[in-house]
Amino acid sequence: MAKTFAHRRNEIINLSPSIEDIKTRWPALFEPSQIQDEFHRITMVHLESKFMSKLDEYTPKLLNIFHSKGGTMGLRLQAILLKAPSNHSISMTRDVVIRCLMVYLGESTDHLLKEYDDADEDSVSQDLAVQRTKIYNIKTTTPEGPDDIGIVVEGVKVLTALGNFPRACSMVVGLAYAVNLAYPKELRYTLEVFQKLLLELDCSKLSPKVNSLKNKLLA
């Protein structure tokens, strides 16, 4: 994949193929490890480790911000925070923080994450086929089995078996760089935080909302 990088980038940037065509042309690209490698070739940043380390670094201050928020938004944030079990894992903490972050930024988790409970395979497939850019979580029907968490773009499943929502969030940014995706407008602030605050890419120009959050995190 490293040897064909320049050729692949030329195709993707200049020809703007569909995601289905890219997947057919470069099937090996659509593995989490390959997305991370491609992201590093483009940005020189280690995608998942950087994303998680900055998220963990900011988590104490983010939680303080969320807990101090009043009004209707404060109630919505508290509803999410209270759902976390007392013995939650680091993955669960990251999950809760990201969900709260989206509410704090005035965006909806539903625009990023589609969750399916006890849905039959055909109805899930039909619904995913009309999704533009979305993380999906198909809940397992067995207590010991892992959920099926992945990403669909233009109705095509592009990444599967991602394990958890925070990891999938990092992969959304990786995919955007790897296959030259535009961010959905309804997620512009969330994805700006992912890219510019957590991955520290193109962070010289921030929207007022994200710049305000950055100032609070660095205070």
Per-residue pLDDT tens over the stretch 174-216: 999 999 999 999 999 999 999 999 999 998 899 999 999 999 9
Token reading at 49: 């480790």
What pLDDT shows up at residue 136?
94
- Using CA atoms, how far residue 26 sits from 17, 63, 167, in Å, is 12, 41, 22
What angle (nearest 5°) sits at the alpha carbon of residue 116, between those of residues 148 and 168?
A: 45
Strands 113-116 and 156-159, by their bridges, are unpaired
- The mean per-residue pLDDT over the stretch 62-73 comes to 95
Helix (H, G, I), strand (E, B) or coil at 1: coil
Strands 133-138 and 113-116, by their bridges, are parallel
Which of 93, 78, 74 lies closest to 166, judged by CA? 93
What pLDDT shows up at residue 143?
65
What pLDDT shows up at residue 118?
65
- The mean per-residue pLDDT over the stretch 27-39 comes to 96
Q: Please report, as a single letter, which amino acid is at residue 30.
A: F
Residue 117 has pLDDT above 70, yes or no: yes
Least confident of 10-19, 47-56, 123-132: 123-132
Residue 31 has pLDDT above 70, yes or no: yes
- The mean per-residue pLDDT over the stretch 29-43 comes to 97
- Using CA atoms, how far residue 159 sits from 56, 175, 203, 212, in Å, is 24, 9, 27, 33
What pLDDT shows up at residue 54?
98
What angle (nearest 5°) sits at the alpha carbon of residue 207, between those of residues 201 and 208?
A: 135
